[in-house]
Chains A and B, each alone.
Chain A
Amino acid sequence: MSGRVLVGVKRVIDYAVKIRVKPDHTGVVTDGVKHSMNPFCEIAVEEAVKLKEKKLIQEVVAVSCGPQQSQETIRTALAMGADRGIHVEVSGKDYDSLGPLQVSKILAALAKKEEAQLVILGKQAIDDDCNQTGQMTAALLDWPQGTFASEVSLEAGKVKVVREIDGGLETIKINTPAVLTADLRLNTPRYATLPNIMKAKKKKIANMKPADLGVDLTSRLEVLRVDEPPQRQAGMKVETVEDLVGKLKEAGKV
Chain B
Amino acid sequence: MLLGRSPCLRLLSLRRCLLQCRSVSSENTAKAAVDKVLSAFRSICGEDGVSLGEAVREQHGKDESVHKCRPPDVVVFPRCVEEVSALAKVCHDHSIPIIPFGTGTGLEGGVGAVKGGVCFSLRNMDQILDLHPEDFDVTVEPGVTRKALNAYLRDTGLWFPVDPGADASLCGMAATSASGTNAVRYGTMRENVMNLEVVLSDGIVIHTAGKGRRPRKTSAGYNLTNLFVGSEGTLGIITKTTLRLYGIPEAMVSAVCSFPSVQAAVDSTVQILQAGVPIARIEFLDDVMIDACNRFSSLSYPVTPTLFLEFHGSERSLEEQVATAEEITQSNEGSDFQWARDTETRNCLWKARHDAWYAAQALRPGCKAYSTDVCVPLSRLPQIIVETKKDLIENRLTGPIAGHVGDGNFHCLMVVDPSDPDELHRVHLFTERLARRALAMDGTCTGEHGVGLGKRVLLREEVGPLAIQVMQGLKDSLDPKNLMNPGKILLQGEL
Contact = CB atoms under 8 A, between A and B. Distances in A.
B151 A193 contact: no
Contact of A79 (B1, B152, B157): B157
A132 to B, nearest CB: 26
Interface stretch (A58-66, A138-146, A152-160, A194-202): A194-202
Nearest to B153: A191
A37 interface: yes
Nearest to B250: A193
Contact of B1 (A34, A194, A234): A234
Contacts of A16: 148, 151-152
A191 B251 CA distance: 10
A195 B1 contact: no
Contacts, number: 39
A16 B151 CA distance: 8
A216 B409 CA distance: 65
Contacts of A76: 155
Contacts of B210: none
Interface string B1-31: 1010000000000000000000000000000
Contacts of B157: 79, 191-194, 196-197
A152 to B, nearest CB: 16
Nearest to A73: B155
A15 to B, nearest CB: 8
B155 A192 contact: yes
A197 to B, nearest CB: 5
Nearest to A76: B155
A193 B248 contact: yes
A194 B155 contact: no
Contacts of B250: 193, 195-196
Interface in B219-259: 247-250
Interface in A146-195: 188, 191-195
A34 B152 contact: yes
Contacts of A34: 152
Contact of A237 (B1, B154, B156, B247): B1
Nearest to A234: B1
A193 B247 contact: yes
A146 to B, nearest CB: 22
A43 to B, nearest CB: 14
A36 B155 CA distance: 8
Interface in A63-89: 76, 79
Contacts of A237: 1, 3
A39 to B, nearest CB: 11
Contacts of A191: 154, 157, 159, 248
In the complex, the 10 A-B pairs of residues with the closest C-beta atoms, listed nearest first: A194-B157, A194-B247, A197-B157, A191-B248, A193-B248, A193-B250, A193-B157, A192-B157, A76-B155, A191-B154
Interface of B: 1, 3, 148, 151-152, 154-159, 247-250, 314, 343
Given A191-B157, A192-B154, 19 more contacts: A14-B152, A16-B148, A16-B152, A36-B154, A188-B343, A191-B154, A191-B159, A192-B155, A192-B248, A193-B247, A193-B248, A194-B157, A194-B158, A194-B247, A195-B250, A196-B157, A196-B250, A234-B1, A237-B3
